[in-house]
Amino acid sequence: MEVETVQNVAQGAGQLSLWHLIWNAGFVVQLVMLGLAAASVWSWAIIFEKFFVYRRTMAQSEQFEQNFWSGQSLEDLYMALGSRNNSGLAAIFMAAMREWKRSQGAASRAGFQGVQKRIEKVMDVQIQKEMGYIESRLLFLATVGSATPFIGLFGTVWGIMTSFQAIANSQNTNLAVVAPGIAEALIATALGLLAAIPATIFYNKFAADASKIGARLENFADEFSAIISRQLDERV
Amino acid sequence: MRRSLTISVLVHAGILAAAFVVLPNPEEFKVEDQESIPVDIVSIEDLRKTQATVKTPEKPAEKVAPKPVDVVKQVKPAPEVAPEIKTAAKEASAPPEPKPEPKKEEPKKEEPKPAPKPEDLAELIKKTDEPEPEKKKEEPKKAEVKPEKPVEKPPEKKPEKKLKPKKEFNPDDIAAFLNKTDDKRTAPLKQQAETGTPKQGEYNLSGIDEGVAATLRDKLRQALERCWDVPPGAREAAIVVKVHFFLNPDGTVSGMPNVVNSSSDPLFTVTAQSAVSAVMSCQAYDFLPQDKYDMWREITFTFNPNLMFPS
Q: By the CB < 8 Å criterion, does A48 face chain B?
A: yes
The residue among A177, A161, A164, A159 whose CA lies nearest residue A24 is A159
Q: Taking 70 as the threshold, does the pLDDT of residue A89 lie above it?
A: yes
Q: Taking 70 as the threshold, does the pLDDT of residue B74 lie above it?
A: no
Q: Which residues of chain A lie closer than 8 angstroms to B21, CB-CB?
A: none
For range B45-58, the mean pLDDT: 60
3-state secondary structure of B97: coil
The residue among B261, B280, B279 whose CA lies nearest residue B269 is B261
pLDDT band at residue B148 using 50, 70 and 90 as cut-offs = very low
pLDDT band at residue B41 using 50, 70 and 90 as cut-offs = confident
**Radius of gyration in angstroms for the set of CA atoms belonging to chain B, rounded to a whole number:** 35
pLDDT band at residue B40 using 50, 70 and 90 as cut-offs = confident
Best probe of the A interface among B1, B2, B3, by most A CBs < 10 A, is B1
pLDDT reported for residue B95:
44
For range B112-133, the mean pLDDT: 51
Structure-model confidence comparison of residues B29 and A211, the more confident one = A211
Q: Taking 80 as the threshold, does the pLDDT of residue A209 lie above it?
A: yes
Q: What percent of chain B has pLDDT over 90?
A: 3
B201: left (phi over 0), alpha (psi -120 to 50) or beta: left
Q: Who's near A152: CB < 8 A, 6+ residues apart? A: A32, A36, A188, A189, A190, A191, A192, A193, A195, A196
Q: How close is the nearest chain B Cα to the Cα of A221, in Å?
A: 28
Inter-chain CB proximity B4 and A52 less than 8 Å: yes
Considering only alpha carbons, which residue of chain B is nearest residue A11?
B28
Look up residue B29 and give its DSSP letter. P
CB atoms within 10 A of CB B253: 19
Considering only alpha carbons, which residue of chain B is nearest residue A191?
B16
pLDDT reported for residue B65:
46
Q: Which residues of chain B lie closer than 8 angstroms to A10, CB-CB?
A: 28
For range A58-63, the mean pLDDT: 90
pLDDT reported for residue B126:
54
Q: How many beta-carbon pairs below 8 A join chains A and B? A: 51
Q: Taking 50 as the threshold, does the pLDDT of residue B241 lie above it?
A: yes
For range B12-21, the mean pLDDT: 86
A44 class by beta-carbon count within 10 Å (0-12 exposed, 13-18 middle, 19+ buried):
buried
Phi/psi for B301 (5° steps) reads -110, 135
For range B85-94, the mean pLDDT: 46
A138 class by beta-carbon count within 10 Å (0-12 exposed, 13-18 middle, 19+ buried):
middle
pLDDT reported for residue B158:
45
Tell me the average pLDDT of chain A.
85
pLDDT band at residue A11 using 50, 70 and 90 as cut-offs = very low
pLDDT reported for residue B22:
76
Overall residue count recorded for chain A in this entry: 236
3-state secondary structure of A174: coil
Structure-model confidence comparison of residues A26 and B109, the more confident one = A26
Q: Which residues of chain A lie closer than 8 angstroms to B36, CB-CB?
A: 2-3
Nearest-angstrom CA–CA distance, A68 and A66: 5
Inter-chain CB proximity A14 and B26 less than 8 Å: no
Inter-chain CB proximity B8 and A6 less than 8 Å: no
Query: By the 8 A CB rule, do A126 and A224 touch?
Result: no
Q: Taking 50 as the threshold, does the pLDDT of residue A74 lie above it?
A: yes
Q: What percent of chain A has pLDDT over 90?
A: 41
Nearest-angstrom CA–CA distance, A19 and A51: 32
Going by their DSSP bridges, the two strands B253-259 and B298-303 should be labelled as unpaired
Q: Which long-range contacts (CB under 8 A, 24 or more apart) does B102-107 make?
A: B103/B127, B103/B128, B103/B130, B103/B131, B104/B152, B104/B155, B104/B156, B107/B155, B107/B158, B107/B159
Considering only alpha carbons, which residue of chain A is nearest residue B14?
A41
The residue among B157, B149, B192 whose CA lies nearest residue B60 is B192
Stretch among A112-121, B64-73, B250-259, B279-288 having the lowest mean pLDDT: B64-73
| Distance of alpha carbon A7 from the chain centroid | 50
Inter-chain CB proximity A45 and B26 less than 8 Å: no
- Nearest-10 crossing angle of helices B118-129, B66-75: 30
3-state helix, strand, coil in chain A (%, to 5): 90, 0, 10
For range A197-223, the mean pLDDT: 94
The residue among A175, A207, A153 whose CA lies nearest residue B28 is A175
For range B281-288, the mean pLDDT: 80
Q: Taking 70 as the threshold, does the pLDDT of residue A54 lie above it?
A: yes
Considering only alpha carbons, which residue of chain A is nearest residue B5?
A45
pLDDT band at residue A207 using 50, 70 and 90 as cut-offs = very high
Q: Taking 70 as the threshold, does the pLDDT of residue A191 lie above it?
A: yes
Tell me the average pLDDT of chain B.
64
pLDDT tens digit string along B185-205? 444 444 444 444 444 444 444
Q: How close is the nearest chain B Cα to the Cα of A4, in Å?
A: 12
pLDDT reported for residue B185:
45
Nearest-angstrom CA–CA distance, B155 and B196: 39
Query: By the 8 A CB rule, do B192 and B57 touch?
Result: yes
Show which of residues 79-108 on chain A sit within 8 Å of chain B, judged by CB atoms.
none
pLDDT band at residue B30 using 50, 70 and 90 as cut-offs = confident
A94 class by beta-carbon count within 10 Å (0-12 exposed, 13-18 middle, 19+ buried):
middle
pLDDT reported for residue B122:
55
A136 class by beta-carbon count within 10 Å (0-12 exposed, 13-18 middle, 19+ buried):
middle
Q: Which residues of chain A lie closer than 8 angstroms to B30, CB-CB?
A: none
Q: Taking 50 as the threshold, does the pLDDT of residue B294 lie above it?
A: yes
Inter-chain CB proximity A45 and B5 less than 8 Å: yes
Q: What percent of chain A has pLDDT over 70?
A: 91
pLDDT reported for residue B202:
45
Structure-model confidence comparison of residues B214 and A141, the more confident one = A141
pLDDT band at residue B119 using 50, 70 and 90 as cut-offs = low
Nearest-angstrom CA–CA distance, A77 and A227: 15
Q: Taking 50 as the threshold, does the pLDDT of residue A131 lie above it?
A: yes
Query: By the 8 A CB rule, do A64 and A92 touch?
Result: no
The sheet with strand B298-303 has its strands ordered as B253-259, B241-247, B298-303
Nearest-angstrom CA–CA distance, A88 and A131: 9
Considering only alpha carbons, which residue of chain A is nearest residue B37?
A2
For range B198-216, the mean pLDDT: 59
Amino acid at A232: L
pLDDT band at residue A220 using 50, 70 and 90 as cut-offs = very high
For range B262-274, the mean pLDDT: 84
Half-sphere exposure of B77 (CA within 13 A, CB side): 3
Q: Taking 60 as the threshold, does the pLDDT of residue A128 lie above it?
A: yes
Q: Who's near A129: CB < 8 A, 6+ residues apart? A: A91
Stretch among A19-23, A214-218, B44-48, B250-254 having the lowest mean pLDDT: B44-48
Structure-model confidence comparison of residues B145 and A27, the more confident one = A27
pLDDT reported for residue A138:
92
Of B8, B25, B34, the CB nearest to A41: B8
Query: By the 8 A CB rule, do A188 and A36 touch?
Result: yes
Structural domains for chain B: 45-190 (no CATH), 210-308 (3.30.1150.10)
| Distance of alpha carbon A81 from the chain centroid | 29
Q: Which residues of chain B lie closer than 8 angstroms to A46, CB-CB?
A: 4
pLDDT reported for residue A129:
92
Nearest-angstrom CA–CA distance, B133 and B185: 31
Q: How close is the nearest chain A Cα to the Cα of B12, in Å?
A: 7
For the ranges A145-149, B58-62, B176-180, the one whose mean pLDDT is highest: A145-149
- Nearest-10 crossing angle of helices A89-110, A74-82: 120
Q: Predicted ipTM?
A: 0.74
